[in-house]
């Protein structure tokens, strides 16, 4: 009996070691951008805001401004989890796009809205929202007159999980191209972002908010949480 117990213990230890090695290999070269405790390494808005750390995640209620990394980045792979806590406000008249990225209509949706600035400005924004086209859309390029750029700005598939559930996202930024994988599906594949800039900080976007005077929420508010932010520079 003792020998069997020893063998089982050894097997468990070996499995744990193998699992640890696999995880380490998978995340090889990545460093954390968020420590789960505070905003070390980040710049908070200079005015009143409600970015906070709640139970180890970044929590935001659409007030104050963007949350921006202190460091600037050029080429990298950025992995993170995000989720909308809820939608708010009246329905939003979201745009509909065809396979070529052309605007073909609108659809009212219950919405929440945020984004990630890949090189510090709105031109480098990857959208997070509840639109039918899905998250990953490149807002600054969806109206481009160049067909290939316009098409590349629209997600290939809506890979978003329902509001309240965590999404896993991987963003690869190289030069003026971006690839976005959302929940295991490639939604952007080396999409071109001409003029996006050579480098800049990563920003988690403020959007919308609560109007104290009218006591109403914007229908495009960043009611969002982030966790497991890590990056590998290329």
| Rounded Cα distance, 111 and 129, in Å | 7
> What pLDDT score does 48 carry?
87
| Rounded Cα distance, 141 and 144, in Å | 5
CATH class of 33-233: mainly beta
- Which three-class secondary structure string do you get for 116-170? EECCCCHHHEEEEECCCCCCCCCHHHCCCCCHHHHHHCCCCCCCCCCCCCCEEEE
What is the chain's pLDDT, residue by residue, as a tens digit (234 residues)? 444 444 444 444 444 434 333 333 357 899 999 999 999 999 999 988 999 999 999 999 999 999 999 999 999 999 999 999 999 999 999 999 999 999 999 999 999 999 999 999 999 999 999 999 999 999 999 999 999 999 999 999 999 999 999 999 999 999 999 999 999 999 999 999 999 999 999 999 999 999 999 999 999 999 999 999 999 999
The CB density around residue 149, as the number of other CB atoms within 10 Å, is 18
Model-level pTM greater than 0.85?
yes
> What pLDDT score does 26 carry?
54
21 token code pair: 């090695």
> What pLDDT score does 27 carry?
75
Query: Which one, of 30, 73, 37, 31, lies nearest residue 58 by Cα?
Result: 37
> What pLDDT score does 50 carry?
94
- Which three-class secondary structure string do you get for the chain? CHHHHHHHHHHHHHHHHHHHHHHHHHCCCCEECCCCCCCCCEECCCCCCCCEEECCEEEEECCCCCEEEEEEECCEEEEEEEEECCCCCCCEEEEEECCCCCEEEEEEECCCEEEEECCCCHHHEEEEECCCCCCCCCHHHCCCCCHHHHHHCCCCCCCCCCCCCCEEEEEEEECCEEEEEECCEEEEEEEECCCCCCCEEEEECCCCCEECCCCEECCCCCEEEEEEEEEEEC
> What pLDDT score does 10 carry?
46
The contacts of residue 37 (CB under 8 Å, 6+ apart) are 53, 56
């Amino acid at each position: 009996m003792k020998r069997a117990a020893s063998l089982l213990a050894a097997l468990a230890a070996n499995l744990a070691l193998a699992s640890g090695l696999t995880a380490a290999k998978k995340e090889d070269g990545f460093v954390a951008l968020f420590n789960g405790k505070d905003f070390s390494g980040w710049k908070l808005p200079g005015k009143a805001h409600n970015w906070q750390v709640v139970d180890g995640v970044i929590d935001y209620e659409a007030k104050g401004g963007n949350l921006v990394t202190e460091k600037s980045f050029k080429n990298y792979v950025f992995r993170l989890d995000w989720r909308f806590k809820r939608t708010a406000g009246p329905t939003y008249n979201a745009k509909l796009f065809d396979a070529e990225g052309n605007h073909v209509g609108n659809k009212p949706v219950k919405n929440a809205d945020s984004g990630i600035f890949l090189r510090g400005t709105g031109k480098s924004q990857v959208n997070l929202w509840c639109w039918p086209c899905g998250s990953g859309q490149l807002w600054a390029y969806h109206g481009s007159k160049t067909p290939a750029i316009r098409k590349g700005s629209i997600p290939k598939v809506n890979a978003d999980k329902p509001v309240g559930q965590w999404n896993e996202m991987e963003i690869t930024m190289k030069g003026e191209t971006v690839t976005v994988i959302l929940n295991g599906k490639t939604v952007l594949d080396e999409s071109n972002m001409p003029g996006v800039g050579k480098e800049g900080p990563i920003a988690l976007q403020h959007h919308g908010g609560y109007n104290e005077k009218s006591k109403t929420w914007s229908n495009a508010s960043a009611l969002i949480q982030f966790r497991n932010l890590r990056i590998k520079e290329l």
